[in-house]
Amino acid sequence: MNDMERRRAPTRTDVARLAGVSTAVVSYVTNDGPRPVAAATREKVLAAMRELDYRPNAVARALRLQRAQAVGLVVPDVSNTYFGALARELSNQAFTAGYALLLGDSDDDPDRERAQIESLVSHQIDGLIIVSLAPDSVADVNGTPTVYLNQRSQPGQLSVIVDNEGGARLAVSHLVEHGRRRIAHLGGREGAPGADERRAGWAAALAAAGLTADPALVRTAEYSRVAGHEAAAELLTRAPRPDAVFVASDVQALGLLAAARELGISVPHDLAVVSFDGTDDAVFSDPPLTAVEQPVPAIAEAALQAVLGQAAPAAGGLVPVRLVVRASCGCPPGH
C-alpha cells in the first residue's frame, strides 16, 4: 500500500451509508448540532467515521458557510525575527481558535504585497492581517475584514497600533540620560510599519532635551540585518560621529553592531545603542541590546480579535511598550 496514492477521500455520504443513517445526521454529529442525535445513533456514526478514517472537507464546508475558518497574514519578510515571532504567535493563536493561517510574504515589494493580498482574499479567508509597506495600500479586499498593523491607513480602517512614538521617546530619553548628545537615528523606510512614528519620537525626545534633530544624523534602510549593516557603516564613518543611535528594529541593530565592530567602535562606550522590537535578537546580541519591547502575544491577540469581529480594537488606543534595559545603552550590568 502506498500512502502516497491519491485515493478518493471518504465523504460524508460514505459515512452515512456505512452507518446506515442519512447525511444530515452525520452533519449533526460532526457539528454537534443544530439538531440533537440519539446517543446510539451518534455512536454508530462515530464508529463509521473511525472506520473510514473520515475527515470533513473544509473546502466544501467553507463554500457552504461562506467562511473558510482561516485568516491571512501578510508581512514584508518572515525571516525578520520580529515578523517571525508575530507569525508564530498568530499561527498558534489562530490554530487554538480553530483557524488556519495563510501566510503571504510580500518580499518588501508593494506590488507583490498587493498580489499576495488578492490571492489570500480569493481564498475566502475570514480575516486579513497586514503589516504593510505602503500606508496607502488601500487594497480592495472585497469586504474581507482587514486589520493593519502599525499603519493608520484609511479612516474607518481597523488597525492595531503600537505606541511607536512613545517607545521611541523612551529610548531616546534614556540615551539622553546617559549624557549622549549626538544621537543618531537608523530608521525604517518611509511608510514602513512604525517607521515614521519612531522617527518622530526620536525628534520629539531630542527637542524635549533641547537637542536638535539633525537630519544628517538620520539614515533609513529596510528592516533587515544586511540593510542595517550597510546604512550603519555609512552613518558611523561620517564626521563628527554620533555618540549614540536609536535603531528602529532589532535586525537593523544587529547590522549596526557588526558595523561598529568592524570599525573598532566600542558599544556602549563609544556608541550607545537602543533598538526597537525586543525580540530574542536583542537578548543574545553582543552586547545585549537595550530595546523597546513590543508585546507580540498581545499584538497578535488584538489583531485576531479585531479581524474575527470579537472586539473592535480600542479606537485610538495604542498598544503600550516598555523599555527593557540591557547593556548596549551603557547601563551597568547590575541594572
Query: Which residues contribute to the site for DNA (CB under 7 A)?
Result: 8-9, 11-13, 20-28, 30-31, 33-38, 40-41, 56-57, 60-61, 63-66
Query: What sign does the dihedral 76-78-79-84 (CA atoms) show?
Result: positive
**Spatial separation of the C-alpha atoms in residues 227 and 221, rounded to whole Å:** 6
Whichever of 27 and 81 has its CB closer to a copy of itself, that residue is: 81
Size of the site for a copy of itself (CB under 8 A): 75
Query: Does position 311 bind a copy of itself by CB under 8 A?
Result: no
Q: How far is the CB of 86 from a copy of itself (least distance, A)?
A: 8
Q: Which residue in the set 14, 21, 114, 116 belongs to the binding site for a copy of itself (CB under 8 A)?
A: 116
Q: Which residue has the cell 536638535?
A: 212
Q: Which residue in the set 42, 56, 200, 270 belongs to the binding site for a copy of itself (CB under 8 A)?
A: 56
Kindly state the DSSP code that residue 62 receives in the 8-state scheme: H
Which among a copy of itself, DNA, none contacts residue 30 (Cβ within 5 to 8 A by kind)? DNA
Q: Quick one: cell of 308?
A: 474575527
Query: Does position 103 bind a copy of itself by CB under 8 A?
Result: yes
Q: Which residue has the cell 518580499?
A: 107
Query: Does position 92 bind a copy of itself by CB under 8 A?
Result: yes
Q: Which residue in the set 17, 23, 30, 118 belongs to the binding site for a copy of itself (CB under 8 A)?
A: 118
Q: Which residue in the set 44, 174, 185, 229 belongs to the binding site for a copy of itself (CB under 8 A)?
A: 229
The DSSP-derived string for 2-20 is -TTS-PPPP-HHHHHHHHT
Neighbour-count burial of 129, counting CB atoms closer than 10 A to its CB (0-12 exposed, 13-18 middle, 19+ buried): buried
Which among a copy of itself, DNA, none contacts residue 23 (Cβ within 5 to 8 A by kind)? DNA
Contact 70, 102 (CB under 8 A): yes
Whichever of 89 and 196 has its CB closer to a copy of itself, that residue is: 89
**Spatial separation of the C-alpha atoms in residues 331 and 272, rounded to whole Å:** 10
Whichever of 98 and 332 has its CB closer to DNA, that residue is: 98
Nearest by Cα to 277 from 248, 246, 318: 248
Query: What sign does the dihedral 226-229-231-237 (CA atoms) show?
Result: negative
Contact 233, 262 (CB under 8 A): yes
Whichever of 79 and 237 has its CB closer to a copy of itself, that residue is: 79
Whichever of 31 and 310 has its CB closer to DNA, that residue is: 31
Query: Does position 70 bind a copy of itself by CB under 8 A?
Result: yes
Looking only at residues 121 through 150 of this chain, which bind a copy of itself when binding is defined by CB under 8 A?
121-124, 140-146
**Spatial separation of the C-alpha atoms in residues 42 and 94, rounded to whole Å:** 29
